[in-house]
């Protein structure tokens, strides 16, 4: 728990990030969780996944941009992603973070950037998933999602099971027929807003999974936790939920054998494929989830 807190604390330190990212050895290590630096790397990874009947969601790494220009540039990169997915016939959609689209600068700038992306995705018959960031952004993120969802049905959202508020948020989203990716939550949160014990988050995850599987929309259950996977399979079996009514999602580079196994057993599986040079906070959150990964780094070094 202490190590996790340290890693999540460091994930937000820009100066520390700049020093780490200068070393090519760390860049190479990040490739355990990141497809590469360019869109071509992401396309290549998606093709490999697609060959095994696994779908993908592209993520261009980057968050908390500070200028309008950076936010617009980030939005333009997502237009490139959608065009490349279409051109290379990848079975993939895209996931994005609102702080990468200018949420810290102005919610209206962010909304117009994301709307441009969702509109292009709509033209290409594709889908955009809005990732959920720390709890400082939950209200703003849900607000932007709801505004977009009223106009477009090809946009979905992420809900984090560690937040106390999530059941209520899910109820609101289901009322507007929104599509949800349920995950546990990856940020450092105080006990005033989030469960601190794994057991409590897990119980809430299972409760919320049941709500999603019994809903009429198509939702995603994002976890590598075998207990959560089994609970999902049990809920589906008990309630006769067909395999094609929902999908599992996992992150690139984590539990690859289990990803394949679930697909071979007839379940839908989508992999989150991040790429880009801004890998540092993403990489640190992955280490925070499983500090044992630090041993992998030490072994590498």
CB 21 within 8 A of CB 280: yes
Burial of 15 (0-12, 13-18, 19+ CB in 10 A): exposed
- Identify the helix (H) or strand (E) that includes residue 266: none
The smaller minimum CB distance to ligand FAD, of residues 186 and 212, is found at 186
The smaller minimum CB distance to ligand FAD, of residues 81 and 186, is found at 186
198 appears as a binding residue in the annotation: yes
The smaller minimum CB distance to ligand FAD, of residues 22 and 143, is found at 143
223 appears as a binding residue in the annotation: yes
132 Cβ neighbours under 8 A, 6+ residues apart: 138, 141, 157, 158, 159, 160, 183, 185
Q: What does the alpha-carbon distance between residue 140 and residue 145 come to, in Å, rounded to a whole number?
A: 9
The smaller minimum CB distance to ligand FAD, of residues 99 and 113, is found at 99
255 appears as a binding residue in the annotation: no
Supply the residues annotated as catalytic: 131, 181
CA angle 59, 60, 63 (to 5 degrees): 105
The smaller minimum CB distance to ligand FAD, of residues 2 and 15, is found at 2
Q: What does the alpha-carbon distance between residue 293 and residue 286 come to, in Å, rounded to a whole number?
A: 8
Residues found near ligand FAD in the complex (CB under 6 A) = 131-132, 158, 160, 183-187, 198, 222-225, 228, 249-251, 254, 272, 286, 289-290, 293
* Neighbouring C-beta atoms of residue 266, cutoff 10 Å: 10
CB 118 within 8 A of CB 152: yes
Helix axes of 226-238 and 256-264: crossing angle, nearest 10 degrees: 20
The CA–CA distances, whole Å, from 81 to 38, 56, 118, 172 equal 10, 12, 12, 30
**Helix, strand or coil, per DSSP, at residue 180:** strand
Shortest distance in whole angstroms from residue 301 CB to ligand FAD = 18
36 appears as a binding residue in the annotation: no
Q: What does the alpha-carbon distance between residue 225 and residue 205 come to, in Å, rounded to a whole number?
A: 11
14 appears as a binding residue in the annotation: no
CB 99 within 8 A of CB 61: no
Residues flagged as binding site for substrate: 97, 285-286
Residues flagged as binding site for FAD: 132, 160, 184-186, 198, 223-224
Residues flagged as binding site: 97, 132, 160, 184-186, 198, 223-224, 285-286
């Amino acid at each position: 728990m202490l190590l996790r807190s340290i890693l999540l604390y460091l994930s937000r330190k820009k100066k520390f990030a700049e020093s780490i990212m200068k070393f090519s050895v760390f860049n190479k290590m990040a490739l355990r969780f990141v497809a590469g630096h360019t869109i071509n790397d992401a396309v290549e990874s998606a093709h490999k996944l697609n060959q095994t009947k696994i779908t993908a969601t592209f993520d261009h790494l980057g968050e908390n941009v500070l200028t309008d220009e950076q936010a617009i540039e980030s939005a333009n990169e997502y237009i490139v992603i959608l065009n490349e997915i279409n051109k290379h016939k990848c079975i993939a959609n895209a996931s994005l973070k609102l702080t990468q689209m200018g949420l810290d600068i102005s919610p209206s700038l962010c909304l117009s950037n994301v709307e441009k992306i969702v509109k292009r995705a709509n033209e290409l018959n594709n889908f955009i998933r809005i990732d959920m960031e720390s709890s400082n952004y939950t209200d703003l993120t849900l607000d932007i999602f709801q505004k977009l969802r009223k106009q477009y049905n090809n946009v979905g959202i992420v809900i984090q099971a560690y937040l106390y508020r999530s059941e209520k948020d899910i109820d609101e989203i289901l009322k507007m027929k929104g599509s949800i990716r349920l995950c546990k939550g990856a940020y450092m949160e105080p006990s005033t807003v989030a469960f601190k014990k794994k057991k409590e988050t897990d119980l809430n995850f299972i409760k919320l999974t049941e709500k999603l599987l019994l809903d009429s929309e198509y939702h995603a259950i994002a976890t590598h936790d075998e207990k959560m996977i089994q609970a999902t399979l049990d809920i589906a079996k008990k309630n006769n939920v067909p395999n094609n009514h929902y999908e599992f999602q996992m992150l690139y580079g984590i539990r690859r054998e289990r990803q394949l196994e679930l697909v071979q057993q007839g379940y839908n599986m989508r992999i989150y494929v991040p790429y880009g040079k801004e890998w540092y906070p993403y990489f640190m959150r992955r280490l925070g989830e499983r500090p044992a990964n630090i041993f992998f780094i030490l072994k590498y070094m």
